[in-house]
Structure 1
Amino acid sequence: MARGFGPSTRAEPLRVSETMLPLADYADRRGYDPGFILSDRPLPLPGAGRWAGDLVTLLPEARRMGQNGDRDRTELRYTHFSVVMSQSRALPLFSACNIDGSQSDRDVDRTDIWRRDPRIPAEVQNLREGYGNANQGLFSRGHMTRREDPNWGEPDTARTADADTFHITNVAPQRQGFNGGIWLDLENYVLDNADRANLRVTVITGPVLSQDDPVYYNRRIPTAFWKVLAFVHAATGELTTIGYRRSQMDFLPRVADGRFVFGDFQDSQVPVSAIADESGLDLSAYAELDVMAGAAPEIELRVKSVADFYLSR
């Protein structure tokens, strides 16, 4: 296990708010829509799998207010996306987002105010520990559902979606340089290859959480992240999924001669079944639509740009 670093006493460079919004503010959040791409072929949220006994549930007062209606009480619903969290790791297991490329609003001002969600216990929401200036070895608050993706629809809706992505429930620790390149561009690339008559994409993103994850600032830090994307392929007209994994193992800070040393990271297209094995989640509904369905779980295709992805069988 990597060397653990103690709590930081340096100033917090990012804006955070200890004030949570009122429960009533979340009453209109509909969250992830399983039938978003094709109403006759719904894609459910990932199943809990081996995390079934470790899911964060809504507080009784949130349930009494009917925040989720008749839906799963472990689902945190936001504007156009939903999150399910691990209690033991105080991190999201995944964040699932619906993207409507025909209504996308990329001009929404960045909210940049991180806050907790009042619907679940504060102790499973790490707002500050280990986060801060990368030059000091601290981590970025890495969006799982990226900021721009749910920002579509009416202007007020898009602005609310942007603010929703800044809940700490939608975050995992990442190195500052991690949020770029393929990780940032993949959703746009898939939209460019989607059926123009149905310009909709579902993206599910999460960390790979392991007992062997290295410890920094009293927190176990995930060494890899994954995405599963679903869309109607422009050429085939078929509902299609692809799996993507990005490692930050070599990009994590480690001590050498008293200095932080940083490495590189790797991008791979992998079978959705392999992501299910690594993440411990039930992704069977997505695995059967995967362009790499049938490939051995250990198969991976290293990619250097989004154009290297296989989008059809």
Structure 2
Amino acid sequence: MRLQFGPLAELDPLRVTEGVLPLESYDDRRGYDPGFVLPATPLPLPGPGRWADDLIELLPAARRNGQDATELRYTHFSVRMSKSRALPIYSACNIDGAQSDRGVPRSNTWRRDPRIDPSHQNLREGYGDERRGLFSRGHMTRREDPNWGSRDTAKRADVDTFHITNVAPQRQGFNGGIWLDLEDYVLDNADRSNLRVTVITGPILSDADPTYYNRQIPVAFWKILAFIHAGTGELTTIGYRRSQMDYLPRPSGGRFVFGDFQDSQVPISAIAEETGLELDAYADFDVMAGASSNMEIRVSSVADFYLSR
């Protein structure tokens, strides 16, 4: 299947376009598959929990029969967004390691999604040169993760990850390290006969988040990964939390108190408490199930993660 592009405005130096893809070009997007890792035990999209009344809905012209109006479906991943924050509450992706196509050229062009109100999609404000205190557009679903299947499908997935709906503001120094390596590490420890992983990523949106460039910037982020463990052969989930506090610029005219924020493996029940999302389906298979929500394991590399009970 070939990618279909509508008329696009001229790109600016930051690789941003005001043009959008044709509405009908999204008709074949299937989004997140709950039964991807283990069909007998589907893992649904996280429930909206306290965000239920704040979810952005598809415009009437973009709705299809039987589709949840709050689910933005892309190639191999889905997004739900907060109206009040104009940010994703999470992006959920299926990764097929056996069909991965890491050679897909980076499309690298950020755009809005025509299926929702553009006023809830911040394409430019606050983003730009880090030396000026601006932020990077940090992928929630990593660019490479949904790029699998046929070459045309992988190309379409890459383009899909560059929608601004799949983004939260991140400092460039934060957007690396374990945050990028974790999916690969889990795939390396997955059952070779079922090299499939589900990754759900999002910001922890708090009323206490600091404001930069007229927007509240999330301090902390989380990931949940689900896979078939190579050693046990069982469905397994892990939770991960990371803060960009130490990377944030000091607010103008104010002090910034730096804390002890590191990469941590945490119970999925703790992520549910912090995010307000419904994550029971994932917590049931968590290697840290039963641990106190205050429990955390500081990690300095992906090898420090506990992948089994």
Counterpart of 1:52 in 2: which secondary structure? helix
C-alpha distance in 2, partners of 1:258/1:135?
Answer: 19
Give the equivalent residue in structure 2 for 1:4: none
Give the equivalent residue in structure 2 for 1:6: none
Pick one of 281, 295, 299 that aligns with 2:295: 299
Query: What is the identity percentage for the equivalent residue pairs of Structure 1 and Structure 2?
Result: 76
Q: Give the aligned residue type for 2:54.
A: D
Q: How big is the shift at 1:14?
A: 1.5
Matched, 1:97 2:128: no
Matched, 1:184 2:142: no
Q: How big is the shift at 1:249?
A: 1.1
Give the TM-score normalised by structure 1. 0.92
Q: Give the aligned residue type for 2:14.
A: L
C-alpha distance in 1, partners of 2:117/2:252?
Answer: 38
Give the equivalent residue in structure 2 for 1:145: 141
Give the equivalent residue in structure 2 for 1:16: 16
Pick one of 186, 194, 200 that aligns with 1:204: 200
Relative to structure 1, the CA distance from residue 163 to residue 262 in structure 2 (aligned partners, 3 Å threshold; closer, same or farther) is farther
Relative to structure 1, the CA distance from residue 256 to residue 281 in structure 2 (aligned partners, 3 Å threshold; closer, same or farther) is closer
Q: Give the aligned residue type for 1:228.
A: I
C-alpha distance in 2, partners of 1:270/1:311?
Answer: 12
Give the equivalent residue in structure 2 for 1:9: none
Alignment of 1:145-294 (within 5 A): 145-254=141-250, 266-294=262-290
Q: How big is the shift at 1:259?
A: 12
The count of residues paired between Structure 1 and Structure 2 equals 298
Q: Give the aligned residue type for 2:292.
A: A
Give the equivalent residue in structure 2 for 1:73: 69
C-alpha distance in 2, partners of 1:214/1:255?
Answer: 8
Pick one of 106, 111, 117 that aligns with 2:113: 117
C-alpha distance in 2, partners of 1:198/1:37?
Answer: 8
Q: How big is the shift at 1:71?
A: 2.4
Pick one of 82, 87, 97 that aligns with 2:78: 82
Q: Give the aligned residue type for 1:226.
A: W
Does structure 1 retain, via aligned residues, the 8 Å contact 2:199–2:226? yes
Does structure 1 retain, via aligned residues, the 8 Å contact 2:212–2:251? no
Counterpart of 2:90 in 1: which secondary structure? strand
Structure 1 residues 192-218: Cα deviation after superposition (integer angstroms, max 9, x where no partner)? 000000000000000000001000000
Structure 1 residues 138-157: Cα deviation after superposition (integer angstroms, max 9, x where no partner)? 00000000000000000000
Does structure 2 retain, via aligned residues, the 8 Å contact 1:246–1:265? yes
Give the TM-score normalised by structure 2. 0.93
Give the equivalent residue in structure 1 for 2:7: none
Relative to structure 1, the CA distance from residue 105 to residue 288 in structure 2 (aligned partners, 3 Å threshold; closer, same or farther) is same
Structure 1 residues 170-224: Cα deviation after superposition (integer angstroms, max 9, x where no partner)? 0000001111110000000000000000000000000000001000000000000
C-alpha distance in 1, partners of 2:252/2:91?
Answer: 35
Matched, 1:48 2:48: yes
Relative to structure 1, the CA distance from residue 79 to residue 114 in structure 2 (aligned partners, 3 Å threshold; closer, same or farther) is same
Does structure 2 retain, via aligned residues, the 8 Å contact 1:13–1:132? no
C-alpha distance in 2, partners of 1:180/1:32?
Answer: 24
C-alpha distance in 2, partners of 1:245/1:176?
Answer: 17
C-alpha distance in 2, partners of 1:256/1:114?
Answer: 28
C-alpha distance in 2, partners of 1:263/1:270?
Answer: 18
Higher relative contact order, structure no. (Cα contacts within 8 Å, ≥ 6 residues apart): 1
Moved over 2 A (4+): 255-265
Q: Give the aligned residue type for 2:69.
A: R
C-alpha distance in 2, partners of 1:53/1:260?
Answer: 33
Counterpart of 1:186 in 2: which secondary structure? helix
- Cα RMSD over matched residues? 1.8
Does structure 2 retain, via aligned residues, the 8 Å contact 1:175–1:252? yes
Q: Which runs of 5+ in 1 are unaligned?
A: 1-11
Q: How big is the shift at 1:108?
A: 0.7
Counterpart of 2:269 in 1: which secondary structure? helix
Does structure 1 retain, via aligned residues, the 8 Å contact 2:245–2:258? no
Give the equivalent residue in structure 2 for 1:30: 30
Counterpart of 1:127 in 2: which secondary structure? coil
Counterpart of 1:25 in 2: which secondary structure? helix
